[in-house]
Structure 1
Amino acid sequence: MMILHSHPASPFVRKVRIAIQMLGLADRVEMRDADVNDPADPLRRHNPLGKVPAFVRENGSALYDSPVILEYLDHLAGGGFIIPREPEARFAALALQALCDGALDASYLLMCEGWYRTPEQRVARWIEKQAGKVERALTTLEAASPALSGMPNVGQIALACLLGYRDFRFDGTWRETHPRLHAWHDAFAAAVPAFAATMPSSG
């Protein structure tokens, strides 16, 4: 049995959980909630960075973070499912994943401002820098939302998780100004049952 060190609020974990369900691997993976703030949590034995997701293979070796895990899951399922084999499609999917992951990183850093700093400690330039990354990413994605046909690829999974995280942590403020992404999100949710099944919870 393989193990996924998880957290219910992590969009990066959500990417992996969606892929596991889409690829029919759910019966081979045990989900284990991790406490990223606990030095004694087993997570740190498998990922020295103490970050989720971390994935433990059947041979005991660990993989991290989400892009690497997704590539392994695709390989495990036979390849060519969520990471296209054809070079142009492959690199387009990987580039889309990188853009969405970057916007997720910036979104998480904005949340950290509120979690770890008092209002007096917050730096406006830093907040504006992270918010700018998110807005530029959403503007780019609004102008060229990826077509949905067949099994979603890693980039499309990452985009859905980005929009879901903006709903979860930022009250869905992106929807009013990004109608094409709004429609894309709803189409993805309708086509991929795993998206609703992996809805984040507080934490």
Structure 2
Amino acid sequence: MKTIVLLSLLLCAAAAAPAEEKLKAPELEEKMKNQEKPVPKDSVPVPINAQMLEQEAAPEVAFSFCPNGWFSHDRLCFLFVHTSMNWFQAEEHCNSLGGNLASVTSSRQYGFLQSIAQTAGQSVVWLGGFNLQGQWMWIDREGFYYTNWYSLSSASSNPCITLRSTTGWCNAQCTTSYRFICAKNPFKC
């Protein structure tokens, strides 16, 4: 049994490891000629084109670990669900897909989720935030450190969080039906 668990963990780790860029000898030699020698950034001025050289040298991602129809962002996969449900039904639906309602941990991630909602033509969608005993939290157990409140109503009567596609988030009654965004980590075993 220990062997099976160990093999499962190794397979999961191998699947999560990034693929290496493979270059043929002539391509590698040409690439090395065109690159500047690495120098610590704090010891000399950095050339203006240095960032461009780094971008050119970076390998392109050939595939995504996210299932078809899901969007990849910050090591997570996101899915916009076009069916309106109340917050509890939405969370159950996301669970059935191997995830949770989306949490938000940064302004960059919030902007990405807003763009998903705007692309779908929605101004309000469910997120995975809720209030329990006076404490705001995310259903996926992420820390509630980033906040982006547009308006905040009474948490006791409006304990679930909605994303606004043009402003920050709001809280609403969990029994209201909205479309929603699911999120999952493709590397969880």
* TM-score normalised according to structure 1 size: 0.27
* TM-score normalised according to structure 2 size: 0.29
Larger CA Rg, structure 1 vs 2: 2
- More helix, by proportion: 1
